[in-house]
A and B are shown apart, each in its own frame.
Chain A
């Protein structure tokens, strides 16, 4: 490999360092209006009346839109359309962030002032605020029952597992919300141009979702809406479906006023209205043999969906598949329920419903190891998946299973036996500070999987300019993770052009075919393959021409280091592209990649859940202050099998960021509510890790068990990088205080 897997500077780095990268809030248009939002601010009720007259009296207010102004379908919902865009009179308010009206005004100040002048009458209903209350089904939040969705796996005979077991563990777990806390709040600028094309500049992970949703809201054909993804300041799942709900607001106002309209959320709006990681409650019953072998897993998990289903049914699919962890489990009986409550709707967040159950199953593994007197490392090694094994859904793995290797690598780089010894000695001599070590071993189904295969395709266009510079437009998005650099590396590897001559553009929906969302750690495989296919086609075009032109064999032409070698002559890439251009050689191609068909029985939860899996291991060293309950992550050792490392620095960056974000979830971050109202609505009380909370070191290693379908063998990393962290840290804390942690975020109170 010439450049694949090498350390390179990210291609959009300097632009960001000099502050010229354009995020949604950086778009300004002549004659632009500013939008504000009128929220219901009650958790449950019936909207009786809306009075916008006072708002209209304020000079500078141009439009106050309510449900009556929506020209198309006033509904959102990816699986079922159970959420109003703007709540109609007579309909229900189901959480504090339901939207009643939208304002367009000449300035931000006027828009905000006007929002306070809209009054609405809401007949309040008693709210449903917890999973337990919801399960009683006495007050119905949405639909016919608060249990909106149910998914399951039924494999083998679970009762046999318990009958044959030497040890049966029954444990309960709880996990809390997590807010994405991308540094850039949600936002969009919409411009219904004079030629009746709705242009939307939006911070988003999936411009195609915005495209479809805005088309529905406005009743416009898709070819009249151009959604342009702006530079995106972090997503983590929070900008998967939510940007539709955000962008539809200025889009409607722009449609109504025929002027550009800007809506940038404040942090408070963002935390109040937009999705979070689902809180959960789980009950696990797991059977083991004396030697640590898992015989069966029975689990029941409830996810708190909040007021609307949004992406929850898809999130639950992942929860279900990941409930048994990375292990061979012959008997499986898994139930996952999505429950409505009168709170903020939860949705996608890095890991997508898996961190909740991975925390549970990994805690169970540690507890079993303890009871059976086996090292936590050994029990994982014993049960982990290998080539030829079946996952909990019965998916037989035929290749690219580096699970064991990741375990062994972490064991080796951490010098585990020595480390264990050190911790033991430290704890013997320290009364009030204790160290703890915790393992986690997880897997992650890459791509949308059998549940979302209709979206699992992606497009890319590669265009070589006559001067040899290259533009690539991919259908997936750069949101910080380094997708642009990864795509440029792939193109560079194939075409031999230097990285600094390649730029990667943000997607536009009027240019590229729907490429699905930038989620599920799928971008490297999907967009990567699309770029690979397009670049290869162009390369063939060039080779075909050169072979003819110079009268050499096709195999005598090669590309590398910005040069093209034609038999024994070296040309610069630029000379060749200029020549090609003059000779009408096709220098632009579109690549399209879709996955092989997966077979899955959704009724039983059995089959090929995902196209491939990333396998990961983390060992964490924590220090716990017994007197205050304060937890610090001191050091972490992490290894991921991602098939092939393409963008080395990017991969390291993902792991660092994932470990720290996962740490926030495990020990720090907490959404607090009062009667359904979020109290922790900004960074003063929703606290995320600072530079002073990062561990001294995160040791990262990769295993490369190539995945034949992936570009150069690559799988995905975006989410597993976070997922290994919470269970590893929780296990380390349990280890330090010698008490099982069964709830995250871990409360300092529970420690002292």
Chain B
């Protein structure tokens, strides 16, 4: 089936087999390698992508469902604030879960410019990390908020 969608700002038209998961299509066919498969059943969040502004599991989605959508992955992030905050806060260890966390953070900050601790935790509850113990990740999100607020002060 031929689908047409926007990936990180670029128009893509492709013929995809209907059984193919969005995850496999994006990785194997389009080389979007930041998306990782950690469980394949929507439990770990390593495959999280942003579809029309909402974070979803690309492992629980067919490629054909991307049709007509706008997809964002960390490869397409022009603004590096969240990424810088994760590095700065020491929120990255093995890094396998990191792109998923960054996308979920992006989804959160799109809708909520000043999230509370509780809101941060709720926004990231679907992303598993086995290395950091999460405290630095929460810190990273708070740091990103701070960095954004500083930026807007200047303006």
Contacts and interface: CB of A to CB of B under 8 A. Distances in A.
Contacts of A19: 33-35, 73-75, 98-99
B83 A14 contact: yes
A233 B133 contact: no
A13 B33 contact: no
Interface residue range, chain B: 35 or more
A283 interface: no
Interface in B130-149: 130-138
Given A19-B33, A183-B129, A480 B137 contact: no
Contacts of A18: 34, 74-75, 77, 80, 83
Contacts of A684: 41, 43
Interface in B83-97: 83-84, 86-88, 90, 92-97
Contact of B36 (A14, A23, A682): A23
B57 to A, nearest CB: 12
B95 A653 contact: no
Contacts of A180: 130
A491 interface: no
Contact of B44 (A109, A183, A652): A183
B53 interface: no
B115 interface: no
Given A26-B33, A691-B137, A13 B130 contact: no
Nearest to A700: B135
A660 B133 contact: yes
Nearest to A21: B95
B36 A183 contact: yes
Nearest to A663: B133
Interface of B is mostly: loop
A267 B39 contact: yes
A691 B121 contact: yes
B94 A17 contact: no
A659 B93 CA distance: 15
Interface in A83-114: 108-109
Interface of A is mostly: loop
B86 A13 contact: yes
Contacts of A108: 24
Interface in B17-39: 19, 24, 27-28, 33-39
A108 B128 CA distance: 26
Contacts of A734: none
Given A185-B38, A682-B41, A653 B131 contact: yes
A650 B127 CA distance: 21
A16 B124 contact: no
B125 interface: yes
A479 interface: yes
Interface string B31-64: 0011111111101101000000000000000000
A545 interface: no
B122 to A, nearest CB: 8
A657 B130 CA distance: 7
A26 B28 CA distance: 9
A557 to B, nearest CB: 34
B92 to A, nearest CB: 5
Contact of A17 (B37, B41, B102, B127): B102
Contacts of A21: 95
A691 B73 CA distance: 22
B95 A16 contact: yes
Contacts, number: 172
Contacts of B96: 23, 182-184, 233-234, 480
Contacts of A689: 134
A232 B74 CA distance: 19
Contacts of A234: 93-94, 96, 130-131
A254 to B, nearest CB: 19
A697 interface: yes
A25 interface: yes
Contacts of B133: 653, 656-661, 694, 698
Nearest to B98: A16
Nearest to B28: A28
A582 interface: no
Given A657-B130, A683-B39, A231 B138 contact: no
Given A182-B130, A184-B96, A692 B121 contact: yes
B104 to A, nearest CB: 10
Given A183-B128, A691-B125, A694-B135, A683 B41 contact: yes
A691 B127 contact: yes
Interface string B10-22: 0000000001000
A482 interface: yes
B40 A267 contact: yes
B107 to A, nearest CB: 15
A266 interface: yes
Contacts of B43: 682-684
B90 A480 contact: no
B60 to A, nearest CB: 12
Nearest to B24: A108
Contacts of B87: 9-10, 13-14, 17
A690 interface: yes
Interface string A27-38: 010000000000
Contacts of B39: 267, 682-683
Contacts of B35: 19
Given A266-B40, A683-B44, A688 B130 contact: yes
A9 B43 CA distance: 30
22 contacts: A10-B90, A13-B92, A14-B83, A15-B95, A16-B92, A16-B98, A17-B84, A19-B33, A23-B96, A25-B36, A28-B28, A182-B94, A183-B128, A184-B36, A184-B94, A232-B94, A267-B44, A480-B93, A480-B131, A657-B93, A683-B41, A691-B138
Interface of B: 19, 24, 27-28, 33-41, 43-44, 46, 73-75, 77, 80, 83-84, 86-88, 90, 92-99, 102, 120-122, 124-138
- Closest 7 CB pairs between A and B? A19-B34, A480-B94, A16-B95, A233-B96, A656-B133, A660-B133, A683-B43
Interface of A: 9-10, 12-23, 25-26, 28, 108-109, 180-185, 231-234, 236, 264, 266-267, 479-482, 649-650, 652-653, 656-661, 682-684, 688-692, 694, 697-698
Given A17-B87, A183-B46, 13 more contacts: A17-B102, A18-B74, A182-B130, A234-B94, A266-B40, A267-B38, A481-B131, A653-B132, A682-B41, A688-B130, A691-B127, A692-B122, A692-B125
